[in-house]
Amino acid sequence: MNIRPVIEYLQGLQVQTCKALEAADGEARFIEDAWQRAEGGGGITCMLRGGQVFEQAGVGFSHVFGEQLPPSASQLRPELAGARFQATGLSTVIHPLNPYVPTVHCNVRFFMASRDGQDPVWWFGGGFDLTPYYGFHEDAVDWHRTARKACDAIDASLYPVFKKNCDEYFFIRHRSEARGIGGLFFDDYNSGEFEQDFRLLKSVGEHFLEAYLPIVERRRDHPFGDRERRFQLYRRGRYVEFNLVYDRGTLFGLQSGGRTESILMSLPPQVHFDYDWHPEPGSPEEALYKEFLPARDWLAS
């Protein structure tokens, strides 16, 4: 199977994403950091730091291959444990400066595994999710409306499934709370039609910034002070907890011998942990927990 078209698409998407984020920030620029993996493959990590809108943004492309598929990648297909593999993907994580602008994550990826004398097994995965610190109903609805649009371009039945997957996956079990307001998540996806599934990957990748940048424009100049900034840094701690404890992409990167700096680019540049902190009753911070983090159908009306 020729996966070169997938690789080339993801490389092009990385360039487009970086250009769009630089334009949105208006000040900072990405630096490129190419890396090689001793066992096979490598990638390019693009990092933007200290922008007037984005405190940190990472857009990382990778294409790695090897003789033994890592355990995290064969979790849903245990029969493939230890098979030869190729994996390529693009991950974007953005941590804005203003607490009223949400953190956001997008990942699109492709895996292929094979054993001697057998046809290769392949699947796609990906999605995007939003992590606000101060919730706005308009933003949540628009975010999910565009997520549904990305799915409907391929199959109208996909959005409810992928939305539910996202709510369940980005749930911090030891805290009994969601990381954010969800979006789309799919993994181990193979409909049997490679070209159709590749179109799904493209649709998710191309609708990501369409969903996110209008929210950035609405909230980037919202006034904030020390209280809002402290709450943002506190909630970023939940982001760290999820990524280091549960995230399968992080586990795959570490287990496959990937470059640690690139794997952990998703972590926020600043974070604060407060022992046994609770929001004040009736506060905007409490509203995040009560009105936005619990899973709900944002498009019901």
Number of alpha helices (DSSP H) and beta strands (DSSP E) in the chain: 8, 9
Measured CA to CA in angstroms, residue 49 lies from 58, 80, 131 at distances of 9, 39, 19
Please name which of 49, 57, 47 lies closest in space to residue 104, comparing C-alpha atoms.
57
Single-letter amino acid code for the residue at 228: E
Which of 63, 95, 105, 144 is the catalytic position? 105
Going by the DSSP 8-state scheme, the letter that residue 243 receives in this structure is: H
The CA-based angle 142-266-52, given to 5 degrees, is: 65
Helix (H) or strand (E) holding 300: none
Which DSSP string corresponds to 90-152? EEEEEEESSTTSPEEEEEEEEEEEE-TTS--EEEEEEEEEEE-SS--HHHHHHHHHHHHHHHH
**CB-CB contact of 81 with 116 (8 Å):** no
Residue linked to tokens 């979006």: 183
Q: Catalytic annotation on 207? A: no
* Residues designated catalytic: 105
